[in-house]
Chains A and B, each alone.
Chain A
């Protein structure tokens, strides 16, 4: 019980460190102050923070990267003194312990944060809606995480995740472009693969192509395409008689690359159809997760699905997902309790839904009761983790 709260009028700082982008801002706001890439410049090169394992001396470099990154966030973007502010970090439960521990160490020791709270991404998404039970689907960069949330607890034994993130979409897009795209050279259109000095398709370029040229095709069209592919027993798209979308011209390093319509439409198909393992696609994962849940919660989860994460913002993604799920439910109608799923619309753009949940929680009075205080961190040996149980004073506490 502290009567004196010198930091009462300074809103807490909310940071959602995603795999590709970090959303940072103040508690009580409706949108983050800034969305910046989770990258740091070290020795004149840009590195993703989450790729610290690829560098030599991984953990120490991670610490240096955090210091550099958080300095940028605090003093260049948010203009806030780190000593006076409480911090809320929105993170996925699946974050590696090393990453989390280093982050907490840096925040407490180097930035002297007043208190730090780690809030799970999926739980935070439910705060934006005011519901206590939901099935949160988070489409991120590295993977897609599907987690049921019930009464403030993330049901981690029922969660599932798939390597179906933006990164995999970019890789597939790269393969497609190298295989099918045409380049205008001296007025002639030649295959991309036949060029002697191919322009390097960096992550940034692929992301731009995905954003501007690609979209998720509709359910009906996809069905027609797959039917034709089956009839003709072919893997390649340009043999089909289907009327694809018109092609798109994209400039890379002063070369005009013509991206054919089928690449535009079919690049995002990795989310909905997997050649190798037909169960590893989004609609199957969502339905399987709901089927795994206890019988009393199944209906509630089915009627409270929340789509979050940047991946959901792809053009045409949501209607396609809804239709694919409906089609799948029809085949499994004897096992599944309801006809269709109901989706929530969050009061935010999907890429910062989790941040908004953190911001709402960060503006409440009880933030102190849940956070780790600076003094507490110094005394305890390890950071309380989502999966660990501490025995304190002979009482088991999570």
Chain B
């Protein structure tokens, strides 16, 4: 049964022409008409607050960039990438180390030392030889990349050259303009635009000049080329003629493959990439932040998480699941080509009000979409009237019972319980349209007309008013295109026909008299 709830079977068409399961879609109520949005057509925004998922340590973006997104107190196991826990043990340390001949009288103080241990793979810092730490906040410091110094030297030298090049380019761009002094000098003070700061460009201009003036202007002597200047700034890279040979042990001693790290373990620590397991070091956890999504059409927020880090709720939670009825497959028959096969689909309404739906046969029309989904079967609905689906009512236990209106559909609606109905459809796989003979899946496309009453508050909420804001309900009809992939034409390898479940048969017996 799990394969039927598999969300990859029934997909809805998003406004960007992509097919996504209903749980992956958002809706934007400010776009007219109401549009569905998916992850790929919505604008993502990272929240400014960053937090460590383990210790919930709060940091703003600037602080986080300074620490390279790494939390100093939480670690991941380098072996299996799970959380490392701190364990304490007691060690007796002689209190007075300066004592000379009084070994018999030195007292021993028990001291707590800490080490890290992974609960899943039992890796500890002791295995690698890291000494136990006496105070946790100072703990296991981030090891510095040994090449840092050289890289900083290179970058600083390049920055000087870049500043000079930029200055030369900028000067080239405006050769005809008389280069007015941007510095405020006595006589031209009154005439200089910058002095009056009328357009607010004084501060950034000065900042920019200050940055480039000191480094760029120093060596503007055109006699000294950029290359020569660079060479004077930095020690050139050294070359070697031969490399260290492999030690003899490679050829004589057998190696234990468990002492060599895997590629994933090496990539987890790009600075060091240890090749032996006895060089592994605890990995700092990364700071993460919440994402909020925005509709690309109208720039209104579609999803907004709460600013409180711990809370998993959302301030704005416009998920399509709460608006559009969800369709699922209940039964799968044994497929017969070019004959109508009976399939039962369920429709669940998770909207806060009642929904009127009607099905739409699309015939041979192919709906353009980005996943190149082509229907190769025809789906028919015996009844094209509107059917009402109630909203979810948690106040009382509801029995599975068909309404009088359902009986008029002559068996089309075969089940109804609370906010869920089941409908019988006929699917005919067409043999002419089967392209891949091996991977033939039965695919069909149909339309679903949903008519819902959306509350549109016309005036803001008035305080002290018992009736609250004036809410006018506007009826809107949206047609969704639904793409169903029933599965392989030939049921093999353990896939079975799913027969009609008993609850449907029971419901049909409970007809309201």
Q: Chain A: residues with CB nearer than 8 A to chain B?
A: 1, 3-4, 9, 11, 21, 23, 26, 28-36, 43-44, 56-57, 60, 64, 67-68, 71, 74-75, 79-83, 110, 127-132, 207-208, 211-213, 215-218, 221, 243, 245-250, 265, 303-304, 315-316, 318-319, 322-323, 340-345, 347-349, 351-352, 356, 360-361, 363-366, 369
Once bound together, how far apart are the Cα atoms of A4 and B207, in whole Å?
Answer: 11
Nearest-neighbour CB distance to chain A for B275, whole angstroms, equals 8
Q: Across the interface, which residues of B come within 8 angstroms of A303, CB to CB?
A: 239
Nearest-neighbour CB distance to chain B for A302, whole angstroms, equals 11
Q: Are A347 and B289 in touch, CB under 8 angstroms?
A: no
Q: Are B257 and A249 in touch, CB under 8 angstroms?
A: yes
Nearest-neighbour CB distance to chain A for B258, whole angstroms, equals 9
Q: Are B166 and A342 in touch, CB under 8 angstroms?
A: no
Once bound together, how far apart are the Cα atoms of A375 and B64, in whole Å?
Answer: 31
Q: Are A247 and B243 in touch, CB under 8 angstroms?
A: no
Once bound together, how far apart are the Cα atoms of A33 and B201, in whole Å?
Answer: 37
Nearest-neighbour CB distance to chain B for A257, whole angstroms, equals 11
Kindly state whether residue B260 has any CB partner on chain A within 8 Å. yes
Question: In this complex, what residue of A is CB-closest to B259?
Answer: A212
Once bound together, how far apart are the Cα atoms of A189 and B260, in whole Å?
Answer: 25
Question: In this complex, what residue of A is CB-closest to B254?
Answer: A246
Q: Are B270 and A211 in touch, CB under 8 angstroms?
A: no
Once bound together, how far apart are the Cα atoms of A22 and B46, in whole Å?
Answer: 22
- Contact residues of A: prevailing secondary structure: loop
Q: Which positions 253-285 of chain B face chain A at CB distance < 8 Å?
A: 253-255, 257, 260, 262-263, 267, 270-271, 273
Q: Are B287 and A79 in touch, CB under 8 angstroms?
A: yes
Q: Across the interface, which residues of B come within 8 angstroms of A80, CB to CB?
A: 46
Q: Across the interface, which residues of A come within 8 angstroms of B150, CB to CB?
A: 347
Kindly state whether residue B432 has any CB partner on chain A within 8 Å. no
Q: Are A207 and B263 in touch, CB under 8 angstroms?
A: yes
Q: Across the interface, which residues of B come within 8 angstroms of A130, CB to CB?
A: 154, 157-158, 230, 234, 236-237
Q: Across the interface, which residues of A come within 8 angstroms of B399, CB to CB?
A: none
Once bound together, how far apart are the Cα atoms of A44 and B3, in whole Å?
Answer: 14
Interface bits B37-52 vs A (CB < 8 Å: 1, else 0): 0011001111000100
Q: Across the interface, which residues of B come within 8 angstroms of A360, CB to CB?
A: 151, 154-155, 158
> Which one of B244-252, B375-383, B420-428, B465-473 is at the A interface?
B244-252
Nearest-neighbour CB distance to chain A for B157, whole angstroms, equals 7
Nearest-neighbour CB distance to chain B for A90, whole angstroms, equals 15
Which 10 A/B pairs are nearest by Cβ-Cβ distance?
A347-B147, A246-B254, A342-B239, A364-B162, A35-B267, A129-B237, A319-B243, A318-B243, A316-B246, A31-B271
- Within the complex, which residue of A56, A110, A352 is in contact with B270, where a contact is CB–CB below 8 Å? A352
Q: Are B151 and A30 in touch, CB under 8 angstroms?
A: yes
Nearest-neighbour CB distance to chain B for A20, whole angstroms, equals 10
Once bound together, how far apart are the Cα atoms of A121 and B267, in whole Å?
Answer: 20
- Within the complex, which residue of A21, A79, A127, A340 is in contact with B46, where a contact is CB–CB below 8 Å? A79
Kindly state whether residue B242 has any CB partner on chain A within 8 Å. yes
Q: Are B370 and A64 in touch, CB under 8 angstroms?
A: yes
Kindly state whether residue B240 has any CB partner on chain A within 8 Å. yes
Q: Which positions 131-162 of chain B face chain A at CB distance < 8 Å?
A: 145, 147-148, 150-151, 154-155, 157-159, 162
Kindly state whether residue B68 has any CB partner on chain A within 8 Å. yes
Question: In this complex, what residue of A is CB-closest to B149?
Answer: A347
Number of interface residues of B (CB under 8 A): 69
Once bound together, how far apart are the Cα atoms of A43 and B251, in whole Å?
Answer: 45
Q: Across the interface, which residues of B come within 8 angstroms of A344, CB to CB?
A: 237-240
Q: Across the interface, which residues of B come within 8 angstroms of A35, CB to CB?
A: 267, 270
Kindly state whether residue B372 has any CB partner on chain A within 8 Å. yes
Q: Are B262 and A30 in touch, CB under 8 angstroms?
A: no
Q: Are A30 and B169 in touch, CB under 8 angstroms?
A: no
User: Could you list 23 examples of A-B contacts with CB < 8 Å?
Assistant: A3-B201, A3-B204, A3-B208, A21-B267, A23-B270, A30-B145, A31-B271, A33-B68, A33-B270, A34-B270, A56-B372, A64-B40, A127-B158, A211-B263, A212-B260, A246-B253, A246-B254, A265-B251, A304-B239, A342-B241, A345-B239, A360-B155, A365-B159
Q: Are B254 and A248 in touch, CB under 8 angstroms?
A: yes
Interface bits B195-214 vs A (CB < 8 Å: 1, else 0): 00000010011001000100
Once bound together, how far apart are the Cα atoms of A225 and B428, in whole Å?
Answer: 67
Question: Beyond A30-B151, A79-B46, A347-B147, is A322–B246 a contact (Cβ under 8 Å)?
Answer: no
Nearest-neighbour CB distance to chain B for A111, whole angstroms, equals 9
Kindly state whether residue B412 has any CB partner on chain A within 8 Å. no
Kindly state whether residue B170 has any CB partner on chain A within 8 Å. yes
Once bound together, how far apart are the Cα atoms of A243 and B208, in whole Å?
Answer: 68
Q: Across the interface, which residues of A come within 8 angstroms of B260, CB to CB?
A: 211-212
Q: Are B270 and A347 in touch, CB under 8 angstroms?
A: no
Question: In this complex, what residue of A is CB-closest to B230?
Answer: A130
Q: Are B238 and A36 in touch, CB under 8 angstroms?
A: no
Q: Are B242 and A319 in touch, CB under 8 angstroms?
A: yes
Interface bits B44-73 vs A (CB < 8 Å: 1, else 0): 111000100000000000100100110000
Nearest-neighbour CB distance to chain A for B367, whole angstroms, equals 16
Kindly state whether residue B227 has any CB partner on chain A within 8 Å. yes
**B65, B170, B242, B251 — most chain A CB neighbours (10 Å):** B251
Question: In this complex, what residue of A is CB-closest to B201?
Answer: A3
Nearest-neighbour CB distance to chain A for B46, whole angstroms, equals 5
Question: In this complex, what residue of A is CB-closest to B231?
Answer: A130
Nearest-neighbour CB distance to chain A for B178, whole angstroms, equals 16
Kindly state whether residue B506 has any CB partner on chain A within 8 Å. no
Nearest-neighbour CB distance to chain B for A77, whole angstroms, equals 8
Q: Are B239 and A343 in touch, CB under 8 angstroms?
A: yes
Question: In this complex, what residue of A is CB-closest to B40?
Answer: A67
Kindly state whether residue B392 has any CB partner on chain A within 8 Å. no
Once bound together, how far apart are the Cα atoms of A213 and B250, in whole Å?
Answer: 10
- Within the complex, which residue of A1, A71, A218 is in contact with B246, where a contact is CB–CB below 8 Å? A218
Q: Are A365 and B237 in touch, CB under 8 angstroms?
A: no
Q: Across the interface, which residues of A come within 8 angstroms of B45, CB to CB?
A: 81
Kindly state whether residue B291 has any CB partner on chain A within 8 Å. yes
Q: Are B252 and A71 in touch, CB under 8 angstroms?
A: no
Q: Are B271 and A79 in touch, CB under 8 angstroms?
A: no
Kindly state whether residue B434 has any CB partner on chain A within 8 Å. no
Known pairs A31-B145, A342-B241; list 13 more (Cβ under 8 Å).
Answer: A23-B270, A30-B147, A33-B270, A44-B8, A60-B372, A127-B154, A130-B154, A303-B239, A316-B250, A319-B245, A340-B242, A341-B241, A369-B169
Question: Beyond A81-B45, A130-B236, A343-B239, is A363–B257 a contact (Cβ under 8 Å)?
Answer: no
Kindly state whether residue B385 has any CB partner on chain A within 8 Å. no
Q: Are B237 and A131 in touch, CB under 8 angstroms?
A: yes
Question: In this complex, what residue of B is CB-closest to A349?
Answer: B273
Once bound together, how far apart are the Cα atoms of A323 and B245, in whole Å?
Answer: 10
Once bound together, how far apart are the Cα atoms of A207 and B204, in whole Å?
Answer: 53
- Within the complex, which residue of B69, B166, B372 is in contact with A57, where a contact is CB–CB below 8 Å? B372
Q: Across the interface, which residues of B come within 8 angstroms of A361, CB to CB?
A: 158
Once bound together, how far apart are the Cα atoms of A88 and B273, in whole Å?
Answer: 24
Q: Across the interface, which residues of A come within 8 angstroms of B230, CB to CB?
A: 130
Q: Across the interface, which residues of A come within 8 angstroms of B263, CB to CB?
A: 207-208, 211
Q: Across the interface, which residues of B come within 8 angstroms of A218, CB to CB?
A: 245-246, 251
Q: Across the interface, which residues of B come within 8 angstroms of A216, CB to CB?
A: 246
Kindly state whether residue B356 has any CB partner on chain A within 8 Å. no
Q: Across the interface, which residues of A come within 8 angstroms of B241, CB to CB?
A: 322, 340-343
Kindly state whether residue B165 has any CB partner on chain A within 8 Å. yes
Once bound together, how far apart are the Cα atoms of A23 and B254, in whole Å?
Answer: 33
**A1, A21, A43, A71 — most chain B CB neighbours (10 Å):** A1
Kindly state whether residue B288 has any CB partner on chain A within 8 Å. yes
Once bound together, how far apart are the Cα atoms of A68 and B169, in whole Å?
Answer: 39
Q: Across the interface, which residues of B come within 8 angstroms of A365, CB to CB?
A: 159, 162-163, 166, 212
Question: Beyond A79-B69, A211-B260, A213-B257, is A363–B155 a contact (Cβ under 8 Å)?
Answer: yes
Q: Are A364 and B151 in touch, CB under 8 angstroms?
A: no
Question: In this complex, what residue of B is CB-closest to A341?
Answer: B241
Q: Are A245 and B240 in touch, CB under 8 angstroms?
A: no
- Within the complex, which residue of A250, A315, A316, A347 is in contact with B257, where a contact is CB–CB below 8 Å? A250
Q: Are B46 and A75 in touch, CB under 8 angstroms?
A: yes
Nearest-neighbour CB distance to chain B for A364, whole angstroms, equals 4
